[in-house]
Amino acid sequence: MKIIIIKVLFFCLIPLGSVALYFSIKLLRKKFRGDLITEFSFHQKETNFIVDEPGNYAVWYKAVAFKKNILYTKKPRIINFKTKAELKIRISFFGPRVNNFDTGIKEMYHFYAEKGEYTISLEDASKVKRALYNGIPNLGEDSGDSKAMVQVNKKHSSFFMLLSILSIIFSVFLIIGGFVIGLLANEIFI
Tens digit of each residue's pLDDT (9 = 90 or more) over 44-78: 878 899 999 999 998 888 877 666 666 667 788 89
pLDDT tens-place string over residues 123-182: 877 666 556 655 555 555 555 566 778 888 888 777 877 888 899 999 999 999 999 998
The span from the first CA to the last CA of the chain, in angstroms, equals 11
Mean pLDDT of 98-111: 77
Distance CA 59, CA 134 (A): 23
Domain tally for the chain?
2
Looking at the structure, tell me whether residues 167 and 143 fall in a common domain.
no
Same domain assignment for residues 71 and 21: no
Is there a single domain that holds both residue 93 and residue 149? yes
Domain interval for residue 25: 1-32+157-190
Q: Are residues 68 and 12 in the same domain?
A: no
CATH code of the domain in which 46 resides = 2.60.120
Which pLDDT score is estimated for 117? 93
Model pTM greater than 0.75? no
